[in-house]
Structures are given as structure tokens and as C-alpha cells.
Structure 1
Amino acid sequence: MDDPYAFLEEPDLSVGTFLSESLQVMDLLGEGAFGHVTKCFSTKTGEMEAVKIIKKFPGLPVEKNEVVILEQLRSLDPDTSNIIKWKESFTYQDHMCMSYELLDQDLQNYVKARGEGLLIPELKSVIRQVATALQHLRSFKIVHADIRPENIMIVDRRQQPIRVRLVDFGLSFQIGDRPFFQATGYRAPEVLLGIHPLTEAIDIWSTGATLVEVATASTIFENEEEYDELSQIIQSHGQPSDEILDRGKDTASYFCEQVDGEHHWRFKSPSEYEEETGLQAQTFTSIRLDDVPMIMAHGDPEDKNLFADLLKRMMQLDQDERITPLEVLQHPFLNESSPQGLLENNAVSLPGPDEDCRDTHTYGFLDCWRKPEYPERTHAGTGRTCKLHTESPQPQFQPGIEPRAFLL
């Protein structure tokens, strides 16, 4: 079978190469399906930067899209918005390059290195910061569209409480525009069903799926095919209402209309789907949100139950009923009664629900087909077998920040 990416042109990269007059490659951090990331020294500032070199991919102008989005977000302070600082874009050998602040490690690898989920204080800190970032995006009417553990990066693992940045805006879009696609395992029901227009509610769903993963060291949805992912969503959440299904242009691909029964729509059986499409349906058991407290390795029962309640509000099947970023910040799990308390305790500034904070004058990368492979473990109390992060020793730190590849 031909390599589907064989036509992608590769840039000439090696340590010591100057990508621009002032940026010299010091290390090659990683490569994904559509690009490379390098650690560069800036002779202009004397600082290290992360530079993403994007491969040419006909028909998918991701780099142009990302620049448009980042230009709108340029006025934001990364320390208060929790959104990565973009420095500049330029071309190298006719490839678009994007320079960012150098960060440390993504949440997926952070959890994997520990072999267990985040501690409750870490979890609360991450939720506050990501919700703050999403509230800022909401004020710009921007949907990130690729929320997952790999796209939430830690500034420095050695600092507590941990500080994170939301990265990779290659798939982002303005509300009302048509998105490219969303990462498998984190797609909201409306994305799978083809319901338009899509809103920032898809980011809340993806954030919920991400939080399950970093809290339990388990992926909530394992499958990469749309049918399999919908099957797991139905296992964990129940079938979407007929009202939701009626709005999906792709509903008939996965559901059959029926006259009798509780629902107007019936989810196709694996054999029916396989016969119609020729694709083999996979069978996995998804995590039920009610089981999350039993799977979590840390925390008292009250905190765990409040966290599960927050997840349920974030992962409502109906996008119109999903909690907003500001409401996330007000949830009892975060132990704060008002956004003002959050501002005082976390030194962040939040735009209001309808406030436009634009100035009037990823890391991460587009590799949505790769899912992390985790070994299986059966959880006591639930009997559920799921894939988990491996146990591994705490990484050894070198002097200075040791960045991790962010587009693998």
C-alpha cells in the first residue's frame, strides 16, 4: 500500500542549522505526520525557543489557519490566559515555521512518567488554568478543537503548583466556520453526528475526556473509528435524544430509523455497520463517569464525587446543556464560591461571558490519528478492564528546563 504521506516535502534539518538569521537549531525534539519541532537558540534574545517547521500538505492550510488564530490572541498575557506565547512566523526552505516560548512537558507524558493520575490539588490547578484559557478563547469566539493531554503543556515540572499552557491552534476555528476535524477519542457527539454549527461546547467535552485521562491514567474512549467511538459514548452516557440525532447529517450512517420503540433512532449493530461499510467494528468498554471516583488513586470521597459531578456537566450529550468555562470555574470541586476568589488565589484575569478581549488595532501538532498505547489493568470495585499509563521512574532533570517533544 502506498504511503499516504509520501508526497509531503521534508525540510533539511540538522543540529547547527540556522532556520533564520537569529534562530539556530540546538536539538530536534520530535516529528509528527505533518511537521517537526526543534529547540532553537535565539542569537537576538539569548533565549531558547521552540520552533515548529510545518511540512507542505496540499489542501490543508493548517499553518495559515494557525497564524490567523494566533494573531488574534497575540495581545493575551500567557501567564494570565494560560495560552502559549507565539513569537513569530517565518519561512525556511519554503516551509512555514512558527516560533513559541519553550515549555517543558505535556500532560500525557507527565502522567505516564508517574504511572498514576494527578493529585487532587494538581487536578484542580489544571482545571482552573484550562478553563481560564477556554474562557479567553470564548471571548474571541474561537474554538480550539483539539483539546487533549498532549496539547496541555507544563511550563516547568519542578515548580509547584504546576503551571500549564494550552497549545497547538492548528485545528482552531471561529464559531460559524467549518472545522477540519477533531482528535479521535476526544470528539464530541455533535462532531461525530455532523451537527452544525459547532461551538466552543466541543472544547468542554474534549476537556472533560482529557480530565478523566489525567485523573485516572486511563483513556475514557479507546477507539479511532467514528462508529466505535459513538458506541463507547452510548455505553457511558446513553443514547443521544431523538432531537439531537434528528439534527445530524451523519446520523443515518450509524443509526437506523424505526417506527416502534423508545427511540425514533436505533444504533446499528456491529454486524449491520460492517455489512454496510466493510469496516470492522471494535468492542471496548468505556469508563462510566460514575466509576471515575473508584478508579482515581488519590483524593477523599467528597472531592472525587464533586469531580465526577463536574465531568457529567462537562460531558452532557446535548451541547446546549454543557457547562461553560466560567461555570467550570464556579463549580464546587474547585472550592471557590465566585470567579473573584479565583482571580485572587490564582493571579489570573478573566473576560466576562460576552466580553471581547481582542486588541482592536502547538506546540502540539496535527497528528490526530495517533492514540497513546497503554497496558491493561482491571480496576478493583468496577471490574472494568482499561488501558493505563505504564509505571516508570520519575524523569531525571538536567540543569534548566528539559523540553519534551510536543508533536509525536
Structure 2
Amino acid sequence: MLLHWLVLVCSGGKSNSSVVLYHLGKTGVPRSHIYFQLLFALLPFFLLLLCCGFDFHSAVLSRHRKKEKMSTFQVHSKSAAGGTRIQFEMVPKFKRHRKKERFLRADTLSSPVNTYKIHKVLGQGVYGKVVECKNVDSKEKMAVKIVERNLSAAAVKEVSILKNLRQLDENKNNLVRFVEHFQQKGCSCLVFEILDMSLYDFLKKRSFNPLRVSEMRVIAQQMLVALNALKSIGLIHGDIKPDNIMLVNHTAQPFKIKLIDFGLAHSASKITAGTKIQAVGYRAPEVMLGCPMNEAIDMWSLGCVLAFMYLGRHLYPLRCEYESMRILVKMHATTGKGERSDTEAEDTRAFISLLKHILQLYPAKRIDPREALGHHFITGLLKRKSSIVFTFSNI
């Protein structure tokens, strides 16, 4: 019926027998003539659909709708005398994913010995959120990491590692100070000292303009002290990146930093090959390849952080591990001469020298924190004649 209607439209409303016979399999009208007539007849129809907002990529034509208006089925089962009754209920899709806020501003968090009043949210992620609180008694500001109920096992592991860190001097070794932990509303609450801002946020505030080499030296030295302390107790941080390096108080103590977030930390003696840790752009080659790993993976991540400060951009892509590996191989396979101008500062060459030692593909050849602390870039004893050249020009 629809085909006959289209034929009538194409023939100007007259039932042309030759056209009809053509569509029934007989010849009589040139094929190209019919195609053009059909095209012009249907063109206004498709234009009308486009104007009305129909989606041609969908299997079923439907108007564009806001996501929150889309519905889905929710299944409820109830036991009854005659068996189990299943009830289907149509609910808005967005309601299914909406999580009820367990903690709001001005709420209080109570441990066995302290009470904290929530002031604001500092950050949020898949684990839960970090809120700024004030101790009701001492008036001291604290940072409380609230871990969701479904991640309680991860919180228990992190608390165990944080307790293990107490054998180290947190201030001397540039590690965040862990205060206490407790449970509230089914969530795990981990209390830390309050810090200023992350290294990433600091660079973002200055439009990712690279830091001066003298500023990078201060940060590198403190991070090497932190990693050396972790290595002394056989601990891998597993998530070294600018977001987890915090400025303590940039106004009062410029570039004084502390390392935070031990949620992905592992014992070096217990971690197994193939364990996926570290952010993609800061992931060591041995982690990507599923090879055995040790504390050297943290040094690789630190090298990527130093390159980030030097370049004002990430050294390797953050989203795609394959692309990250491709660039890594390309960079280390390049054997260009590398230009050195007479005006290049010696401390910059020393920085590049340290970076080359840190970003070694083979973990056994990678410089460790103790050795790096003795490098002339850190000590300030600059070598006048450096034969090491390492450039980013071919990345």
C-alpha cells in the first residue's frame, strides 16, 4: 500500500500503469527516472523529520529526550502465600543512580574521643569524599576522608598501612599525618591533618606554566626523602601523581610538600606481577607489561611528575595505556644528538641528567631514592661538563 502511494506521488497523482508494472518487475519506464522521482518526493518528508528532532541513529525513530526523563523498569519481589509475586515498576532512570547524601554541611562526625563538624567538601571520587572539618573541642581544622560502605575492605587495608607509617617521622619524611579512624553511618572515616592544595591545583592556578628549576629541586628533594622512607619499610605507594603531592602551606612555607593517599599502597614483598596500580600517565613500564615490580615503580612515577613540572604538561597520555607505551618506546628509541645552547643553565642540565636516571626502562638500572638524593642536581654540586643529553623534542 505504501509502495503504491509513493508511486502515485511520483506520477503526479495518476496511476501510471507503466510505473506500477515497473515496480511489479516489468520494464516500461527508465529506472533512473523513477529513482529521481522518488528522491524528490521523499525529500520534504526527511526534512520535516530533521526539523522535528528525530534521531536517525536510533534503531527506532524517537524524539530527543532529556536523559532524566528516560524510564526503566525496577523489579520488586514479595513472598506471598501462593508463592513469590514479582512487581514491575516504571521509574525515572536518573533516580536509579542517585545516591543519597549521607553527610551534609554542618553535620557532625563523632569518634570515641573527638567530634568534628563538617565545613565543606574538599574533593570527591569513586571512594567517597574528603571533607574539611573542625574539631569541636580543640578548634583545629582537619581533613576527613569518608569511604563509602561498599569499599570498607579497602579502607581497612589503608588504615593498616597508615598505622604502619607511624613508625616513621611524618614531618621529617614529608608524609601526611594520620590522626585516627572510626565508623559512622556505615562509612569509614579517616582523619588527617589539613593541608593547603595539591601540586596539580597549584600548577592549574598558574595556567600550567612550568616551574623554575630551583623550585623543582626543592620538591624533588622532599619527594625523594619520602620515597626513601617508604622503601626503608618495604612499602610501595603505587599512586604518585601531582594530585597526591600536597603543598602544606604555600604562603607560610613555599613549596613545602607532603605525600598523601595510601589507598593503593602495597607491601613490596607481597605485591604480585600483573597488579594494576598507578595512574596510566604515571605507570611504570613493568606495571604495563605485567612484570614483577618493586619500589622502583614509585621512582618512575616521580620522574613523570618532575617532567610535568618542567614541561607544564603530562609526559605520557593519561587515558590510553597503549598510547602511553607507544610514546615511551618512541622517546627511548630516539638517538638524536640533542642541541645544547651556551646559555642553557647548568642546573637545568643537571635536572635533565637526574630525570634520565629516573626514567630508565629497566627497574634494575633505575636510580633509587638514596642514590638520587646524592645526585648533583639535588646536592647543588653541579658538574661543569655534562655529557648527558635528554630531550623531549621528539615526543
TM-score by length of 1: 0.64
Q: Deviations over 1:158-201 (max 9, x none)?
A: 134421000000000001323552211000000000002x1000
Can you give the 5+ residue segments of structure 2 that lack an aligned partner in the other structure?
A: 1-66, 73-92, 382-390
Q: 1:193 to 1:10 in 2, by over 3 A?
A: farther
Q: 1:12 to 1:165 in 2, by over 3 A?
A: same
Using the alignment, how far apart are the partners of 1:207 and 1:80 within structure 2? Answer: 19
Q: List aligned pairs for 1:125-144, cutoff 5 A.
A: 125-144=218-237
Using the alignment, how far apart are the partners of 1:192 and 1:103 within structure 2? Answer: 32
The answer to whether structure 1 residue 187 and structure 2 residue 187 are counterparts is no
Q: List aligned pairs for 1:9-88, cutoff 5 A.
A: 11-20=101-110, 22-57=115-150, 61-88=153-180
Helix, strand or coil at the partner of 2:109: coil
Match of 1:323 in 2: 367
**Quick check: 1:36–1:53 contact (8 Å CA) kept in 2?**
yes
Match of 1:349 in 2: none
Q: Select between 115-124 and 163-172 the one with higher mean Cα deviation.
A: 115-124
Q: Deviations over 1:65-98 (max 9, x none)?
A: 2111111111333221100000011112111110
Q: List aligned pairs for 1:4-403, cutoff 5 A.
A: 11-20=101-110, 22-57=115-150, 61-115=153-207, 116-178=209-271, 179-196=275-292, 198-238=293-333, 300-336=344-380
RMSD: 2.9
Q: 1:291 to 1:69 in 2, by over 3 A?
A: farther
2:371 maps to amino acid: E
2:328 maps to amino acid: I
Instruction: Judging by fraction of residues, say which structure has more strand.
Output: 2
**Quick check: 2:317–2:324 contact (8 Å CA) kept in 1?**
yes
Q: Deviations over 1:201-233 (max 9, x none)?
A: 000000000110012211100142222221111
Q: Deviations over 1:269-295 (max 9, x none)?
A: xxxxxxxxxxxxxxxxxxx9998999x
**Quick check: 1:15–1:27 contact (8 Å CA) kept in 2?**
yes
Q: 1:10, CA displacement in angstroms? A: 5.4
Q: Select between 178-187 and 34-43 the one with higher mean Cα deviation.
A: 178-187
Q: 1:301, CA displacement in angstroms? A: 2.3
Q: 1:163 to 1:127 in 2, by over 3 A?
A: same
Match of 1:364 in 2: none
**Quick check: 1:291–1:382 contact (8 Å CA) kept in 2?**
no
Using the alignment, how far apart are the partners of 1:7 and 1:177 within structure 2? Answer: 36
Using the alignment, how far apart are the partners of 1:177 and 1:383 within structure 2? Answer: 39
Using the alignment, how far apart are the partners of 2:393 and 2:276 within structure 1? Answer: 38
Could you say which structure has the larger radius of gyration? 2
Q: Select between 321-330 and 10-19 the one with higher mean Cα deviation.
A: 10-19
**Quick check: 1:292–1:308 contact (8 Å CA) kept in 2?**
no
Q: 1:302 to 1:185 in 2, by over 3 A?
A: same
Q: 1:150 to 1:289 in 2, by over 3 A?
A: farther
**Quick check: 1:70–1:169 contact (8 Å CA) kept in 2?**
yes
Can you give the 5+ residue segments of structure 1 that lack an aligned partner in the other structure?
A: 240-287, 338-380, 386-408
TM-score by length of 2: 0.67
1:91 maps to amino acid: Q
Q: 1:163 to 1:61 in 2, by over 3 A?
A: same
Q: 1:307 to 1:188 in 2, by over 3 A?
A: same
**Quick check: 2:123–2:131 contact (8 Å CA) kept in 1?**
yes
Q: 1:30, CA displacement in angstroms? A: 2.1
**Quick check: 1:82–1:129 contact (8 Å CA) kept in 2?**
yes
Q: 1:238 to 1:384 in 2, by over 3 A?
A: closer
1:201 maps to amino acid: A
Q: 1:291 to 1:217 in 2, by over 3 A?
A: farther
Aligned length: 286
Instruction: Judging by fraction of residues, say which structure has more helix.
Output: 2
**Quick check: 1:201–1:319 contact (8 Å CA) kept in 2?**
yes
Helix, strand or coil at the partner of 2:217: helix
Match of 2:387 in 1: none
Using the alignment, how far apart are the partners of 1:204 and 1:134 within structure 2? Answer: 8
**Quick check: 1:290–1:308 contact (8 Å CA) kept in 2?**
no
Helix, strand or coil at the partner of 1:195: coil
2:230 maps to amino acid: L
Q: 1:7, CA displacement in angstroms? A: 7.6
Aligned structure 1 segments of 4 or more residues deviating by more than 4 angstroms: 6-11, 288-294, 381-385
1:326 maps to amino acid: R
Using the alignment, how far apart are the partners of 2:332 and 2:129 within structure 1? Answer: 38
Using the alignment, how far apart are the partners of 1:211 and 1:289 within structure 2? Answer: 22
Q: 1:326 to 1:95 in 2, by over 3 A?
A: same
2:321 maps to amino acid: E
More relative contact order in 1 or in 2 (CA 8 Å, sep 6+)? 1
2:369 maps to amino acid: P
Taking only the aligned residue pairs, the percentage that are identical comes to: 31
Q: Deviations over 1:228-284 (max 9, x none)?
A: 221111111239xxxxxxxxxxxxxxxxxxxxxxxxxxxxxxxxxxxxxxxxxxxxx
Match of 2:64 in 1: none
